[in-house]
Structure 1
Amino acid sequence: MKKKKNQWKYKEWISGYLFLLPALIFFLGFVVYPMIKGIYLSFFDYTATQYRFIGLENYRILFHDSIFKKSLWNTIIIVICTVPLVVVFSLFISIIIYNKSSFTRSFYRAAFYLPTISSIVTISVIWSWIYHPTYGILNYLTSLFGIKPISWLGHEKFALPALILVIFTTAVGQPIILYIAALGNVPRAYKEAAAIDGATRWQQFKHITWPLIMPTSLYIIIITTINSFQTFGVVQLLSGGGPMYRTSTVLFQLYQTAFQFQNFGIASAMGIILAIIAIFISILQFKYFSSDVEY
């Protein structure tokens, strides 16, 4: 009897892993293998004409490359600006929407989530019309206040903030959905008890709501950080990294280096540096915010 029971457990164990096998093969083939291959290639001078081992030379070149450092700084600025804006705005909108009727909540959730599921090409075309220096609606609105037309994507001062605004609008959809769901899991009894004891709305939010939705906030912060580090499509379609590399990001420069300049070794080194920075910052965020998480 015991032997049959062990055989049944073994068959159940095997069947479980068989169900996981397709996803595991995909993960190993399209995530793990490219990562290992990228680390390997970063130690080689790998171009269209040669392939030789050079050790850490690619990394030394990048650390002395002013364009790469500018792209890295732009990427960090995008992360620093986007993540807090997304968290604060998403939470603010979610709190407002949550108190509305179910129909209103569904409408606003769909409206805010639409840019998330829309094609980046479509979004870029719309924003290129908005930012157009001659016919753009943004310049039309600013002209009502006597401001001269601005080339938003061609001006060194305004190009990066203009891109950050586009990235922000495409990043708030999912956090709003998640925050509305998280707010629904906060027991009303806690707030009612706090209100009876004289707690203000801010005190209720600070001591009840925020700690209970911290797991959701942690997820949103880390995912938004990683996505911001991977900014590419908006840069390629709207600004092309200009003017004077003012909007260039590490991922965009990686694409140019690999597929336009055919220097796969340096491109791999860029990817490794970006991955290390993103992982390091994500670990810091997890260590800092997870101490306040209540499961």
Structure 2
Amino acid sequence: MAQPATKTYKKRMIKDGDWAWAYAFIAVALVVYALFTAYPVVSAFLISFQEYKPLGSTYIGLDNYAETLRDDLFWKSIRNTIKYTVLTVPVNLLISFVIAILILPLRKRLQTTFKAVYYLPAVASGVTMSVVWLWIYDPLPEGILNQLIGFFGIHNQNWLGTSDTSMFSLVLMSWLSSHGTSIIIYLAALLGIDDSYYEAAELDGANFLQKLRYIVLPFLKPTTLFLLVTGVIGSFQVFQNAFLMTGGGPDNATTMVGLLIFNNAFKYFEFGEAAAQSLILTVIIATIALIQFKAFGKDVEY
């Protein structure tokens, strides 16, 4: 009786020593993962049970977690992060989808040009982009946004300096930037839809909105779910915008969880409490991702 092809292939690989080469090639990735992902996670887990000091830590059990759950600022940062997520992620997905639909009918060269233009902010330094937005939000009359609203007779606004407008300013910054990756992913998914579906729909007299509803949206459901999950994860980890634009103020109106963890660790040197907060944030993100997969991924095939 002939041996199965898979068994023969495995024996040949073992005989030729190919397994050793396979492990050698993935060893670099495994070492990098162990050093920069697995080790920090395990260290954070251990530090969360300690009053951490560089020259000698003290085990305090669940005190860091209890202190975090009693901290009003922690819960305010959670509310701020949820508000930021709800206001940015769905709108950003919609903007990216609409832009991808508008780019799709263009010639290939024009598509490439638009993709490059929209992806450019992702290549630029985040600090540089924040400096540009600080110029836009300049509270003086010379600020670009104040000049714009001045045409409509609206007085100058201190966009980043008041609780009423600081969160909106960060949200607006998110709406008008960082769509490049989502646009490229949406375009790739749109180009993967076979033209025969559109041709059949046209024969049945379907208009643009009907093709969008019954062809495009169902085919893009896996892509949308992926972008939704990664978008929520990214928004819950937002740090750079709040740190550079407002510093979490005024009155902690823009203090996100990521910024709070950073301040506790590197400003107040409460490494144990920061580690506990980071692990709580991990559990929150994992729970939300699971809920999204359960709610929207029932009939999604990958």
Q: TM-score, normalised by structure 2?
A: 0.92
Residues of 2 paired with 1:270 and 1:23: CA distance? 28
Structure 1 ranges of 4+ moved more than 6 A = 2-5
1:180 partnered with 2:161: no
Matched, 1:163 2:170: yes
1:216/1:238 Cα in 2 relative to 1: closer, same or farther (>3 Å)? same
Task: Identify the residue that residue 13 of structure 2 maps to in structure 1.
Answer: 9
The answer to whether the Cα contact below 8 Å between 1:131 and 1:152 also exists between their aligned partners in 2 is: yes
CA distance in 1 between counterparts of 2:53 and 2:82 reads: 28
Contact 1:131 1:139 in 2 (8 A): yes
The match for 1:54 is 60
Give yes or no for the alignment of 1:95 onto 2:109. Answer: no
CA gap of 1:238–1:280, structure 2 versus 1, over 3 A, is same
Number of residue pairs the alignment of both structures matches: 294
Q: Is this contact kept in 2: 1:194–1:204, CA < 8 A? A: yes
Q: Take 1:17 and 1:210, find their aligned partners in 2: how far apart are those partners?
A: 41
Match of 1:25 in 2: 31
| Matches of 1:5 and 1:245, distance apart in 2 | 61
Task: Compute the displacement of 1:276 (Å).
Answer: 0.8
Report the Cα distance in structure 2 between the residues aligned to 1:89 and 1:187, rounded to whole angstroms.
24
**Which residue, 274, 291, 295 being the options, matches 2:281?**
274
Once the 2 structures are TM-superposed, how far is the Cα of residue 169 of structure 1 from its aligned partner? Answer: 3.4
Greater CA deviation, 189-198 or 44-53? 44-53
Is the 1:114–1:173 Cα contact (8 Å) retained in structure 2? yes
Alignment of 1:283 onto 2:290: yes
Return the offset for 1:12: 2.2
2:55 and 2:174 map into 1 onto residues whose CA distance is 37
The match for 1:69 is 75
Q: Which deviates more from structure 2 when the two are superposed, residues 125-134 or residues 196-205?
A: 196-205
Is 1:208 the counterpart of 2:215? The answer is yes
Q: Is 1:145–2:149 an aligned residue pair?
A: no
Tell me the C-alpha RMSD between the 2 structures: 1.8
Q: Which runs of 5+ in 1 are unaligned?
A: none
Identity level (%): 37
Letter in 1 for 2:103: I
Kindly indicate whether the alpha-carbon contact (under 8 Å) linking 1:214 and 1:294 is maintained by their aligned counterparts in 2.
no
Aligned residue for 2:259?
A: 252
- Is there any run of 5+ residues in structure 2 with no aligned partner, and where? none
Residues 102-147 of structure 1: per-residue CA shift (max 9 Å, x gap): 2321222111111111101000000000000002100001011111
